[in-house]
Amino acid sequence: MKKHNFNAGPSVLPAIAIENTAKAVLDLNGIGMSILEISHRSKDFQAIIDEAVALFKENLNIPEEYKVLFLGGGASMQFCMVPFNLLNKKAAYLETGVWAKKALKEAKLFGEVVTVASSADKNYNYIPKGFSIPNDVDYFHITTNNTIYGTEIREDFDSPVTLVADMSSDILSRPVDVKKYGLIYGGAQKNLGPAGVTFVIVREDILGKVERTIPTMLDYRTHIKEGSMFNTPPCLPIYTCMETLRWIKSIGGVKKLQEMNQAKAKVLYDEIDRNPLFVGTVEKDSRSLMNICFVMKDEYKALEGEFMEYTKERGMVGLKGHRSVGGFRASTYNALPMESVKALVDAMAEFAKIKG
């Protein structure tokens, strides 16, 4: 039986992307070789990465002056690559969770870093508001969605300086005004593909401004010049990304996904707010559409393990909340069907009838 996959990442992918990747592992387009064994210098792989880049640009309406890269190292490598390439004197960061804090820590190795606002005082259960972005920094860094805590920035800021965003877990979940950003990056393993590849969307004119010498492998200009193939790229994950991007286009694009994600989140948040056993962990105006976090109310805390088993018996996986929050986390990424959300909501309602 196919599971209801609520894992936070690696996570659920479109069925067609998985099926076509499986076929490509056995034989890529009838060429008599697997995607696992073809040369990344071959015309067959060049066609794959070219299509993946073109579809990314089309689905997200990326302007011509931006380059799309597929790199290794995960988003965590970008925590140092961003300041290596962009931080000359000073940078500003918005601290909204563990990953934002890790990005901030790495940036401090390269220059002065200011934290414009933080939600650490309430265990990152809200997105700070009313902060001012300083004008005297090289860039301002945000993490748009916080997988651990279930908060999300759903707007594109107007920034007086170069805006950099880690969009690992909400890329392609809504339309984005890419022109407002200098650089967008993220690990693919939430909404785009399997673990092992990282996407970078960068406006070329922001590069080459720092005074330091950048190691060749960590210089974005290296990968732009070589078309993401300075070294051997992660070919299989890039193939799956291409298939996912095909799927996104086929169902009506990012705008359609936004509508689907809003509908899924509403169904689950409505149940959390209605159900006598559960309570959300995030301030309502900061709630994520991608990672929905909730716990048992204090008087029912002892039932958390029992509810987890109840959901597992019904084919649900990945619902255990991160240890820093506890409770439950339902990751409702693009490829998760409404059917899975309704199955969870039904389980919550049934459990409440039994135990409430």
356 — pLDDT class (breaks 50, 70, 90)? confident
Report domain extents, the chain. 15-250, 253-355
Q: What is the pLDDT of residue 167?
A: 98
Average pLDDT over residues 84-103: 98
Output the CATH code of domain 15-250.
3.40.640.10
Average pLDDT over residues 73-89: 98
Helix (H, G, I), strand (E, B) or coil at 255: helix
What are 132-164's pLDDT values in tens digits?
Answer: 999 999 999 999 999 999 999 999 999 999 999
**Residue that has been written with the tokens 């959901």 in this structure:** 311
Assess if CATH 3.40.190.80 describes domain 253-355.
no
Average pLDDT over residues 82-103: 98
- For 337-343, the CB contacts below 8 A with 24+ separation are 338/260, 338/263, 338/264, 338/267, 339/4, 340/4, 340/5, 340/6, 340/316, 341/264, 341/267, 341/268, 342/267, 343/4, 343/314, 343/315, 343/316
Residue positions annotated with a catalytic role: 99, 166, 190
69 — pLDDT class (breaks 50, 70, 90)? very high
Average pLDDT over residues 11-22: 98
Average pLDDT over residues 168-183: 98
Tokens of 255: 């705008």
Contact call for residues 233 and 42 (beta carbons, < 8 A) = no
Contact call for residues 49 and 227 (beta carbons, < 8 A) = yes
Percent of the chain surpassing pLDDT 90: 99
Q: What is the pLDDT of residue 332?
A: 98
User: Does 250 score more than 80 pLDDT?
Assistant: yes
DSSP string covering 207-229: SS--SSPPPGGG-HHHHHHTTT-
User: Does 1 score more than 80 pLDDT?
Assistant: no
What are 305-337's pLDDT values in tens digits?
Answer: 999 999 999 999 999 999 989 999 999 999 999
Rounded mean pLDDT of the chain? Answer: 97
Contact call for residues 95 and 119 (beta carbons, < 8 A) = yes
What are 234-248's pLDDT values in tens digits?
Answer: 999 999 999 999 999
**Residue that has been written with the tokens 């969870």 in this structure:** 344
Average pLDDT over residues 103-124: 98
